[in-house]
């Protein structure tokens, strides 16, 4: 782990979520990564369909 990831984990632990904080932060990061990726895949698929 890098220093930045330790800082994020430490900040997540200090929230009212406590031990569940890092898992919540991880889930948010995954969602923020998958939403644009999914949108790009859908747009690319639509552009390939014949009219």
Task: Give the separation between CA 37 and CA 33, rounded to whole angstroms.
Answer: 7
Which residue from 6, 12, 36 is spatially nearest to 25, judged by alpha carbons? 12
Q: What is the pLDDT of residues 26-43, one digit of tens each?
A: 888 899 999 999 999 999
As for how many domains the chain has, the answer is 1
Name the token pair of 1.
């782990």
- Contact present, 13 and 21 (Cβ < 8 Å): yes
pLDDT at 5: 67
Residue 50 is predicted with a pLDDT of 64
Q: Which domain holds residue 10?
A: 3-48
Helix, strand or coil for residue 31?
Answer: helix
């Amino acid at each position: 782990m890098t220093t930045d990831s330790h800082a994020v984990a430490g900040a997540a632990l200090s929230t009212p979520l406590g031990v569940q904080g890092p898992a919540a932060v991880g889930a948010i990061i995954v969602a923020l990564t998958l939403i644009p990726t999914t949108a790009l895949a859908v747009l690319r698929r639509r552009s390939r369909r014949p009219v």
